[in-house]
Amino acid sequence: MADLHVRSVLVTGANRGIGLGFVQQFLQMPKPPEWVFAACRDPKGQRAQELQNLASRHPNVVIIQLDVADPSSIKAAAARVEEQLEGSGLNLLINNAAIAKMTTLDGETLEDMIQVYTTNTAGPLLLGQAFLPLLKKAAQGSPGSALSCSKAAIINISSSAGSIASPLGWDKMQVVSYRCSKAALNMLTKCQSLGYREHGILCVALNPGWVQTEMGSSSGDMAPVTVDTSVQGMLKVLSSLSEKDTSTFLNWKGNVLPW
Ligand code: NDP
């Protein structure tokens, strides 16, 4: 983790689960970011209590209201972050927020397909667009031309459930809308890496493993990986990413996964 020097980071879905884990571990770094933008859809709600407590102890944590399924909320969040950054850029955008519906192939509905796609795929697309000026600014302000997470990066938290070549866990959970949304998120990552490379922005899809969160427990089985272990692994991976890694699908241990 030693090589990840991030001045500013934004994490979506930061009030619980893996998103909250990211915020906690950024704050524990030897050199924490100057700004940790912790975005969540209901900052004053019960489910954001732990994040509120964290923010009250750490002045570099800024809680941002953000519903990733609402384009106007995304625009407002980008404006709020820009204002706070006072002319500097955003180094890291972590698209972590997502939903999963416990559906079967036969029971899947149009409504579920649309809601899950809107949140898990369209959300990260619109966030990339809204934060592009700030990510570009960070890349321009960073010395050297090589891509890295310390310079400017979009990290899309994906899932092996969305791998077409190796779709994990079909026997346990069919979750068709979720799988399709993550397969599409992987393609979005490819598109973003192609489109944003010239701006100096690295883009990867990252699978956190099967993690002990609300989502990770939704099959009823105990997930093997703790939030801390997963996030520690992912931060180590982020610290090691370079030019050659943009446009890849990796897991929390740094192994390349099949799309
Ligand atoms: P959780 O269900 O524990 O948390 C999901 C987070 O996303 C919550 O903060 C939730 O906020 C937020 N969220 C959902 N919808 C929206 C929205 N419209 N706008 C803003 N925030 C929203 O999930 P995890 O922490 O486990 O998952 C984090 C990421 O990791 C996801 O992308 C998931 O797909 C991925 N992943 C997780 C795995 C696991 O085993 N846990 C396995 C593979 C991938 P709220 O409290 O408001 O609902």
Best mutation site among 179, 213, 253 for ligand 1, i.e. most ligand atoms within 8 A of its Cβ? 213
Question: Residue 162 has which token pair?
Answer: 């969305």
On whether residue 130 sits in a domain, the answer given is: yes
Question: Residue 147 has which token pair?
Answer: 């891509």
Tell me the C-alpha distance between 90 and 97, whole Å.
Answer: 18
Question: Residue 47 has which token pair?
Answer: 């489910």
* 14 Cα to the center of ligand 1, angstroms: 9
Phi, psi of 155 (to 5 degrees): -110, 115
pLDDT attached to residue 111: 98
Q: Whose CA is nearest to atom 2 of ligand 1?
A: 215
Rg of the chain, C-alpha, whole Å: 17
pLDDT attached to residue 38: 98
* 18 Cα to the center of ligand 1, angstroms: 7
Low-confidence stretches of the chain (pLDDT beneath 70)? 1-2
Q: What DSSP element (H or E) covers 71?
A: helix 71-85
Residue whose C-alpha is closest to residue 127's, from 183, 215, 188: 188
Alpha-carbon dihedral of residues 49, 76, 11, 181, nearest 10 degrees? 110
Ligand 1 neighbours (beta carbon < 6 A): 12-13, 15-19, 40-42, 47, 66-69, 96-99, 119, 157, 159, 207-208, 210-211, 213-216, 223
On whether residue 221 sits in a domain, the answer given is: yes
| Residues contacting 47, CB < 8 A, separation 6+ | 15, 16, 40
Length reported for the chain: 259
Please report, for the domain that includes residue 104, its CATH number. Answer: 3.40.50.720
* 87 Cα to the center of ligand 1, angstroms: 30
On whether residue 227 sits in a domain, the answer given is: yes
Tell me the C-alpha distance between 232 and 256, whole Å.
Answer: 17
On whether residue 50 sits in a domain, the answer given is: yes
Total domains, the chain: 1
pLDDT attached to residue 2: 45
pLDDT attached to residue 3: 74
pLDDT attached to residue 145: 82
Half-sphere exposure of 164 (CA within 13 A, CB side): 8
On whether residue 86 sits in a domain, the answer given is: yes
If you count DSSP H runs as helices and E runs as strands, how many of each does the chain have, helices first?
7, 7
Q: Whose CA is nearest to atom 11 of ligand 1?
A: 13
On whether residue 30 sits in a domain, the answer given is: yes
Question: Residue 249 has which token pair?
Answer: 């699908």
On whether residue 1 sits in a domain, the answer given is: no
- Cα torsion 133, 138, 142, 148: sign: negative
Q: What is the ipTM of this complex?
A: 0.99
On whether residue 68 sits in a domain, the answer given is: yes
pLDDT attached to residue 136: 98
Best mutation site among 10, 15, 18 for ligand 1, i.e. most ligand atoms within 8 A of its Cβ? 18
> Exposed, middle or buried: residue 228 (CB in 10 Å: 0-12, 13-18, 19+)?
middle
pLDDT attached to residue 1: 46
What residues make up the domain containing 189?
Answer: 8-251
* 215 Cα to the center of ligand 1, angstroms: 7
* 140 Cα to the center of ligand 1, angstroms: 31
* 237 Cα to the center of ligand 1, angstroms: 20
- Cα torsion 117, 119, 124, 125: sign: positive
